[in-house]
Homo-oligomer: A and B are copies of this chain.
């Protein structure tokens, strides 16, 4: 979020408004083209190794009252964002929705938050600038990091230098909304271990796993916030650290892995900014349920549906995932991370993770 990024974001937004202006001047109906954002319009990009939008586009055009209103709202939103950037301020998506009530033109006001969220995503896609660079903050906050890493965070109150083991409590370092305010100063880390649940994150920290194995333990807190995914990607790209993801063994958790590694359909325009395609899946794997005889729950109908839909998902079309998902549909069971405790509280740090990470070539 340097000054350069900020003025760049502002310029991109204003050039979009300018485009509408020029269309008017030319006597053509103003319009804006955005990629179609559905599962059938994402494709694998060989160069970046992530899934991005394909060629199909939708047009928001002023040739209907509805379309004209959409562009009007876009113009008001651009005006607000440009002023926000000029003043060095930020706001949340929800605030933008409510703020529109104060706009002088009733027709420019958003009728629901879905509408304003969608517009911001459209603006991201069309301008090529991320929401963070518009200074739009999410509602969801990022999670925490614990491990041998020293960072410098640029806050509104000046710089803060923080070592993510020595200068933090047991709760760890809280990732800010925009992790691009972080600079990596120094580290002794060998890899990043992204963990789904708080219970497992605390187990690893209590057992000193981050110290013994030089791991950066990143808590995903369920479906990870953009800030968490962005930081994970930066740790991989800039510090050259392998990233491994450790979740429960059920279809919803595989999607958590998927959002770290491949990006989501909703934010495929951000895959290169958020996704870490090299991220590997540690477990819990269906094969672990069998091999370690873990305590299980039966798959529900919605679990089965989610697994079947993953088998169809282009992002899960690998030998590894096909095998694991088919095995799970076969055994009809799922297990949580913490079910490893059935073998004792230290099993995960003394045996499970060291064995698996060695096998994966991470240790």
Q: Which of B174, B211, B339 contacts A171, CB < 8 Å?
A: B174
Assembly CA distance A165 to B158 (angstroms): 11
Supposing A94-B199, A141-B171 touch, asked if A156 and B89 sit within 8 A by C-beta, the answer is no
- A-side interface residues, number (CB < 8 Å): 57
Complex Cα gap A91–B168 (Å): 21
- Taken together as a complex, chains A and B put the C-alpha atoms of A343 and B174 apart, in Å, by 31
B residues less than 8 Å from A173 (CB atoms): 169, 171, 174
Q: A101 near B342 (CB under 8 angstroms)?
A: yes
9-residue interface stretch from A175-183, A234-242, A280-288, A316-324: A175-183
Does residue A172 face the partner (Cβ distance < 8 Å to B)? yes
Q: Tell me whether B171 and A160 are in contact (CB under 8 A).
A: no
Is A90 part of the binding interface, using a Cβ–Cβ cutoff of 8 Å? yes
| A99 and B174 form a contact (CB under 8 A) | no
Q: A137 contacts the other chain (Cβ, under 8 Å)?
A: yes
The contact string, 1 if C-beta is below 8 Å from chain B, for chain A 298-332, is: 00000000000000000000000000000000000
CB distance from A26 to the nearest CB of B (A): 36
Contact call A137/B102, Cβ cutoff below 8 A: no
Residues 122-153 of chain A, each 1 if its beta carbon lies under 8 Å from chain B, else 0: 00000000000000011111101000000001
A311 to B67, alpha carbons, bound, how many Å?
A: 47
A344 located at the interface, meaning its Cβ lies under 8 Å from any Cβ of chain B in the complex: yes
In the bound complex, do residue B174 and residue A168 qualify as a contact, i.e. CB atoms below 8 Å apart?
Answer: yes
CB within 8 Å for A174 and B174 given contacts A98-B295, A202-B92, A343-B102: yes
- A206 touches B (CB below 8 Å): yes
A345 contacts partner chain B, Cβ-Cβ < 8 Å: yes
Pick the contact of A95 from B94, B102, B341 — CB < 8 Å? B341
Are B167 and A174 in touch, CB under 8 angstroms? no
Is the Cβ of B98 less than 8 Å from the Cβ of A342?
A: yes
A92 and B343 contact, CB distance less than 8 A: no
**Chain B residues whose C-beta falls within 8 Å of the C-beta of A17 in the assembled complex:** none
Name the one of B98, B165, B345 contacting A89, with C-beta atoms under 8 angstroms: B345
Hey, which chain B residues are within 8 Å of A153, CB to CB? Answer: 169-170
Q: Tell me the A69-101 residues at the B interface (CB within 8 Å).
A: 89-92, 94-96, 98-99, 101
Query: Would you give 17 A-B contacts (Cβ < 8 Å), ordered by A?
Result: A94-B336, A98-B338, A98-B340, A99-B342, A99-B344, A102-B343, A141-B202, A144-B174, A156-B206, A157-B211, A162-B169, A169-B173, A169-B182, A170-B176, A171-B175, A171-B176, A173-B174
Given contacts A89-B345, A162-B169, 12 further A-B contacts (CB under 8 A): A90-B206, A94-B338, A99-B341, A99-B342, A101-B295, A155-B169, A156-B170, A160-B169, A170-B181, A171-B174, A171-B176, A171-B177
